A and B are shown apart, each in its own frame.
Chain A
Amino acid sequence: MAAPSESVWSMLQTLGCSLDFQTKVYRNQTSGQRIWVSYIEPMIDIEIAVKNIFPYLLHYHFSTLQDLCGALPLDEAYLSSDPNDMKQKLLEGYLLIRLNETDETGLLVKAQKTLERTLTIPEVEFSVVGPKESFIESLETNLYLLRKRIPSDHLTVNMFRVGTLSKTKLAVVYIDGIADPENVQTVSQRIQAVEFDEVIDSSYIVQLISDNRHSLFPQLLDTERPDRVAAVLAEGKVAILVDGSPHALIGPTTLVEFFSSFEDYFLNWIIASFFRLIRLFSVAFSILITPIYVATLNYHYELIPKDLLGTLITSRKEIPFPPIVEVLFLELTIELLREAGARLPTKVGQTIGIVGGIVIGTASVEAGLTSNVLLILVALAALASFTTPVYKMGNTIRLMRFPFLLFAEMWGLLGVAFCFCIVMTHLLSLTSLGRPFLAPLYPPRWKDWKDALIRLPFTSQAKRPSSLRTPQPIRFDGKKAKEKRDIDE
């Protein structure tokens, strides 16, 4: 913040160092009054200025700025003599109108240029059925998308600004009376305590306000789907929207939420539950399969029945490396492919995928560097890691198998169990906005299991999750929803 003694004059001088800052002098054609208009050119919407502001400036008869302010057909116009405020507004795209070059008071008129892309379909969290709009980089539009879905007077938006340079607008959204006030309090406090200069995206905020900033696990859920945000707001969670970021943050979140895709709610509950279990299984598979491969082949080949062992040995007999080297070689190749694919433009990325996946894979088997079986396992594990509906969790899953591999190399299956215990302890100690991350598994909230590992039908979801401690735990009358009917009625 600038010193309070700074005058409007010196403030304008500073801004004037930049060549896109303009101060122009006009003359009112009825009164002959001279008018100084200052603005930053790229921030101004010329159409608004020409249509709504300049006709009044040049033709309307006024003697004071007050008169002019009343005459302008724009809401966002006011008199100010605070240099800091003026500077801020000029930077955001306001016009500063003064009657004298040395005046300390000026009229600020909003003529902000708003350029934003149109609403597109969600690309990260795509779903076949269900709404197809996703957040964009404008906070106002994103709030509009939420308000449209929750037309309730209880939907409350708290505005903050973070970043000493970026002064990014940030909205904390919750439904008053449903969200736990303590959670809102926690979020607000943490946001106010953020110390950073340039906040670009909501993922900056995640890293700045998370409970444990060193954890591999994301502790706030990020989503690009307004429908998902609206749904969890109704459950009693708190959402954070950041201007310039097409991803909203949701908290307090839990581990199981990261494995639930929002599409689960668009499908029949049995199918949705099946998909969730598949996802959990694939996550476990993805993390554990190569460590188990290393453990078994290093130490416990007795575990494998005779026939299967034959297959394994045939596929491995030409391989000059111990299992761990073989596995690390393939795992790193897959990571390399993934990273290359992510960095390259889509079309080239596909080519790389084909070249890498098929050519390197088959070639390395034929060259006798890796075994067929392992190639299948690693490819499956990579595939399984992409089933996590939240991108950031997928990254965590991919990284997690490396410590497991090291422990498996050291102590076999025992090492895998040991590493599992470490991860479990870490997860137990994690919190999201001060709420346990493993809820409803631990602390056990049996009633919340209706929407955790499986999802029960909507008629059984009459209560909000008890781990959220919402002041209004009943969503709707569950008894009315469940109609009991007799045969042939």
Chain B
Amino acid sequence: MASVAERSQVSAFMAFFIIMSMQIGIGVLGFQRIISKTAGHDAWISVLLAGAAGHLVLALMYWLLQQADGDFILLHQQLFGRWLGNVLSLAMAAYFASMSLVVLRTYIEVIQVWMFPDLRTWEFSLAFLLLCLYITLGGFRIVVGICFFCLIIPSYLLFTFWFVFDYTDFYRLLPILDHPLSNIVKAAKEMTLTMLGYETVLFFYPFLKSGKQSAKWAHAALLTTTLFYTLLTVLTLAYFSEKQLQRQIWATLTMWKMVEMPFIERFEYIGIANWLFVILPNVCLGLWCSSRICKKVLPVRQKTALFLVAIGCFLGTLAIHDRTGVNMINSILNRIGFYFLYVWLPCLAAFTYIRMKVRGKL
């Protein structure tokens, strides 16, 4: 905990901006189809459910962090010994790096589908990662600054959903709880990727000035995101019929097509360009977390680790060529995220609890 200098720390309430900007990412553009596949017009309940589960996991994370004095890597070492613990931490590093990769590659896919069919993947990926390096090399405070502005600036996009209201039919949401609970839970599981992002708190926690007070901000962020997603889901379900929605890979973008002003039509172009702001903190914080773990575990400087991770991401984006590849990495990350949050973290908590009990007895 003491290893972080005060000038690179940020106030506790910035946790709100970090977590929210990290959560809202590429998933928002098209999560509606996936969750309504199983839960139909009850999908909004799944979103709430996923949010509730998120709150539990987040509370668990804070509990775990308290046990290890705010250092998750230390927790790994305490539980599994130095060697195995470090391997697990490195797995986390790989996880965050792949998160950056998935977000970036999916965004490039969106651009290629909606805006520039002939955009060269390597070209944009290289430029984007260079920008991320520029940000991340500035240190955590700059990364948080980006999180802050990249949440504030695109927030005007919320108003654009107003245009959709004219075309909605809220009777489509009825009857409520029409689907079996198992389907709703399954859909909530599919929400994982879209909700993902708050686990970064495990690693940026030492960079908050008063870590314990950040819990309420982290929960507030999670709550806001959940409400935003619920609202968006309700709106989408009311806008599209169920069959129509199944054909919309990027439902949010399709909804933007309805925005019409005297000087602007086809708002999705502006939306996609603006989405650059939304995914920038995702990729940056992913790179930052990943390189931070490497620095703590391996005998490398964070700069070196950062360059390596960025190069890895760059090569990764090149390796995925088409829609199927993008779909695949998305569902893989969704699964890893799910097992990490809802299986691995509770296990860790159980281990920690047992360890505490055993130590207390001895």
Interface residues of chain A, those whose CB is within 8 Å of chain B, are 299-300, 302-305, 308, 411-414, 416-418, 421-422, 424-425, 428-429, 438, 441-444
Contact = CB atoms under 8 A, between A and B. Distances in A.
A425 B263 CA distance: 30
A303 B276 contact: no
Contacts of B265: 302-305
B124 A425 contact: no
B352 interface: no
B274 interface: yes
20 contacts: A300-B266, A305-B260, A305-B264, A411-B119, A412-B116, A413-B269, A413-B270, A414-B115, A418-B276, A421-B131, A421-B277, A422-B131, A422-B134, A424-B149, A425-B135, A428-B138, A428-B145, A429-B138, A442-B148, A443-B141
Contacts of A308: 262-263
Nearest to B265: A305
A358 B262 CA distance: 30
Counting chain B residues whose Cβ lies within 8 A of the other chain, the interface size class is: 20 to 34
Contacts of B280: 421
A415 B89 CA distance: 36
Interface string B126-157: 01100100110010011001101100000000
Contact of B269 (A303, A418, A424): A303
Contacts of A411: 116, 119, 124
B164 interface: no
Contact of A412 (B115, B127, B134): B115
Contacts of A422: 131, 134
Interface string B313-328: 0000000000000000
B340 to A, nearest CB: 29
Contacts of A413: 269-270, 272-273
A443 B75 CA distance: 31
Contact of A429 (B142, B149, B266): B142
B146 A418 contact: no
A444 B148 contact: yes
B8 interface: no
Given A305-B264, A412-B116, A425 B146 contact: yes
A462 B34 CA distance: 53
Q: Considering the complex of A and B, which 4 residue pairs feature the smallest CB-CB distances, nearest first?
A: A413-B273, A428-B145, A417-B276, A302-B266
B11 interface: yes
Interface in B2-57: 10-11, 14
**Main SS of the interface on chain A?**
helix
B138 A425 contact: yes
A265 to B, nearest CB: 27
Contacts of B146: 421, 424-425, 428
Interface in B274-299: 274, 276-277, 280
B345 interface: no
A429 B149 CA distance: 13
Nearest to A413: B273
Given A304-B264, A442-B145, 19 more contacts: A299-B115, A302-B266, A303-B264, A303-B270, A304-B265, A305-B263, A308-B263, A411-B119, A412-B273, A414-B272, A421-B280, A422-B131, A424-B146, A425-B131, A428-B146, A428-B149, A429-B138, A442-B149, A443-B11
A425 B142 CA distance: 7
Contacts of B124: 411
A285 to B, nearest CB: 14
B261 to A, nearest CB: 8
A444 B217 CA distance: 15
A418 B127 contact: yes
A93 to B, nearest CB: 48
A302 B276 contact: no
B36 to A, nearest CB: 28
A429 B127 CA distance: 19
Contacts of B262: 305, 308
Given A305-B265, A429-B138, A443 B10 contact: yes
Contacts of A429: 138, 142
A418 B283 CA distance: 14
A304 B263 contact: yes
B111 interface: yes
Contacts of B127: 418
Contacts of A443: 10-11, 14, 141, 145
Contacts of B145: 428, 438, 442-443
A85 B296 CA distance: 59
B37 to A, nearest CB: 30
Contacts of B264: 303-305
Contacts of B148: 442, 444
Given A414-B111, A442-B148, A421 B276 contact: yes
A344 B185 CA distance: 75
Given A303-B264, A303-B266, A305-B264, A414 B149 contact: no
Nearest to A307: B262
Contacts of A303: 264-266, 269-270
Nearest to A414: B273
A414 B263 contact: no
A273 B297 CA distance: 52
Nearest to B260: A305
A181 to B, nearest CB: 18
Contacts of A425: 131, 134-135, 138, 142, 146
Contact of A414 (B131, B134, B276): B276
A302 B269 contact: yes
Contacts of B138: 425, 428-429
A250 B149 CA distance: 27
Contacts of A417: 273-274, 276-277
